[in-house]
Amino acid sequence: MIKIWRETGVIANDPWVIETDEVKAAGEQRPLLSLDALIARANESNDVGLGVVITPFDDVGRLEPYLSRLEIVAVSFPAFNDGRAFSQASLLRARLGYTNELRAVGDILIDQIPLMLRVGIDSFAVSNPTALKRLEERRLPGIPHYYQPTAQAAEAGETYSWRRKPSPAA
C-alpha cells in the first residue's frame, strides 16, 4: 500500500495516479502523465493543473515551456541505488525555478528522505513499511553536515556549501 507523506504528515485522498496499462485514473483521480504524453497534451490544449512523472532517462529541460501549467512533478526512483532523480529534482528547483509540488515515487527508503528534502522534493509516495512507520512517528534520520548547496538550507546554518554559492553581483 502506498501512502503520500509530506513534512506535515500523511496525506489522505491524494488524487494523483501514475497510469499504467492496468491502472487508470478514475472519478476524482488525476493522471500523472509520462513526459511525452504531457508534451502532447499540452501542445493540443490549454489545460493547466497537469501532472507528470519523470523517469531517470528523461531530460527535465524539456519541461521548461510547460512548468507554469504543472501542478505536480513526480521524479522516479526505480531502485534505491539510482540517484538520477536527485539531480532532476535539483535542476527543477534551482535552474528551472519550479515551485509547485515535487514528489518522489518508486523505491524510497527512510535514509534517503532527508537528502530528498534538501534537493526540494516535498512529497513522497512511500510503500516501505519501515519507512512508513518511522515517518508516521516523525523519526527521520539526521544528517549534521552538508557539502553542497541545495533548495533547503542546513538546520545548523552555513556549512561547506558557502564555498559554492555564486558571489553577489556588484
pLDDT in tens, the chain (170 residues): 788 999 888 888 899 988 777 888 888 889 999 999 999 999 999 999 999 999 999 999 999 999 999 999 999 998 888 889 999 999 999 999 999 999 999 988 888 888 898 899 999 999 888 888 888 888 877 665 555 555 555 555 555 544 555 545 54
In sequence order, which residues have a C-beta less than 8 Å from that of residue 161 and are 6 or more positions away? Answer: 146, 147, 148, 149, 150, 154
Residues 38-86: tens digit of each pLDDT: 999 999 999 999 999 999 999 999 999 999 999 999 999 988 888 899 9
Helix (H, G, I), strand (E, B) or coil at 155: coil
Distance, CA of 29 to CA of 47 (rounded, Å) = 16
Question: What region, left, alpha or beta, does residue 138 occupy, with left being phi > 0 and alpha being psi -120 to 50 degrees?
Answer: left
Residue-range domain boundaries for the chain: 3-144
Q: Which residue(s) pair with 31 in the sheet? A: 17
Distance, CA of 104 to CA of 122 (rounded, Å) = 8
Q: Are 97 and 67 in contact (CB under 8 A)?
A: yes
Domain range 3-144, CATH class: alpha beta
Listed in sequence order, the DSSP H helices in 35-170 are 35-44, 84-90, 113-118, 129-136
